[in-house]
């Protein structure tokens, strides 16, 4: 059963491409990570007021895992829901869920840690207040560590 992904911070629907499959005739594991990446980009666009333009401070992926539950094959449409589960001073913990429309169920869960990085000083940076505000405005104080 597919959860109500419209309640998530961001969600998107993507087609499974023939070329996403591997020799085992299911979607290659790396494709799931690209789907989650697309949701993260959409998340940062939303946090930045619809823009995806970073200059001095940029978001970077510090860590990621993925639990594969059910294989996905072509043809299919997948739905990706991305939520923040914890907001810390210098990072955010995310959870992405991938659903298959053909299977009508959850097919993968990914957790990731995203950090803010200062491109001029080449070191981590506190999570920008504008990013923090957009998350707290959506979730309330429940995500604050």
Q: What would the mean pLDDT of 3-10 be, rounded to a whole number?
A: 87
Which pLDDT does position 94 carry in this prediction?
96
Which pLDDT does position 52 carry in this prediction?
67
Q: Say whether pLDDT at 45 is over 70.
A: yes
The domain ranges of the chain are 5-143
Q: Could you read off the pLDDT of 19-43 as tens digits, one per residue? A: 999 999 999 999 999 999 999 999 9
Q: What would the mean pLDDT of 115-119 be, rounded to a whole number?
A: 93
Q: Could you read off the pLDDT of 53-108 as tens digits, one per residue? A: 677 888 899 999 999 999 999 999 999 999 999 999 889 999 999 999 999 999 99
List Cβ<8 Å contacts ≥24 apart for 129-136. Answer: 130/47, 130/48, 130/49, 131/44, 131/47, 131/48, 131/59, 131/92, 132/87, 134/46, 134/47, 134/48, 134/49, 135/9, 135/47, 135/84, 135/87, 135/92, 136/87
**What architecture does CATH give domain 5-143?**
Roll (3.10)
């Amino acid at each position: 059963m597919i959860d109500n992904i419209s309640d998530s911070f961001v969600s998107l629907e993507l087609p499974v491409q023939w070329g996403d499959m591997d020799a085992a005739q299911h979607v290659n594991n790396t494709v799931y990570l690209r789907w989650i990446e697309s949701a993260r980009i959409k998340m940062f666009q939303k946090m930045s007021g619809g823009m995806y333009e970073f200059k001095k401070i940029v978001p970077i992926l510090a860590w990621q895992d993925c639990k594969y539950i059910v294989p996905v094959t072509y043809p299919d449409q997948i739905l990706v829901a991305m939520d923040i589960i914890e907001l810390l001073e210098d990072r955010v913990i995310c959870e992405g869920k991938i659903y298959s429309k053909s299977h009508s169920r959850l097919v993968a869960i990914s957790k990731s840690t995203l950090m803010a990085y200062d491109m001029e000083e080449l070191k981590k940076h506190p999570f920008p207040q504008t990013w923090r505000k957009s998350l707290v405005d959506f979730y309330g104080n429940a995500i604050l560590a």
